[in-house]
Amino acid sequence: MRIVLAGHTHLVSAGAVAGVPVWTGGATSYVSDALVPAGEERALNAQTVSRIDLFADSVVAAAVPVGADRRGTLSAAEVEQRVAELRSRTDAA
């Protein structure tokens, strides 16, 4: 598996060039807000590091927030319950 990695772009992004995955990791200082009006710049206090998992036939890339405020935590049992609920909704549809 191949992947093109770039970093310190202040904006996490992913794509592909000629079928090869491309990942640009965010910065550890701040992230640029991609939703500001044209011509403006806004820095967000949202640092990230990249996690890249390589497999024989695929790659998974993820932006991992650093120092983010915790919103909540679910136990393994709570996660299993939510997954079961979602599956039952999907099966019923």
Phi-psi region of 8 (alpha: psi -120 to 50; beta: other; left: phi over 0): left
Residue 25 CB neighbour total at 10 angstroms:
24
pLDDT tens-digit map of 19-40? 999 999 998 899 899 899 999 9
Own/partner long-range contacts of 37-46 (Cβ < 8 Å, ≥24 apart): 43/10
User: How many distinct structural domains can be found in the chain?
Assistant: 1
Read off the pTM: 0.68
Residue 53 CB neighbour total at 10 angstroms:
9
pLDDT of residue 7: 83
pLDDT of residue 68: 79
pLDDT of residue 70: 81
Residue 10: give the domain boundaries. 4-92
pLDDT tens-digit map of 45-91? 988 999 999 999 889 999 998 887 788 899 999 999 999 999 998 88
Residue 63 CB neighbour total at 10 angstroms:
19
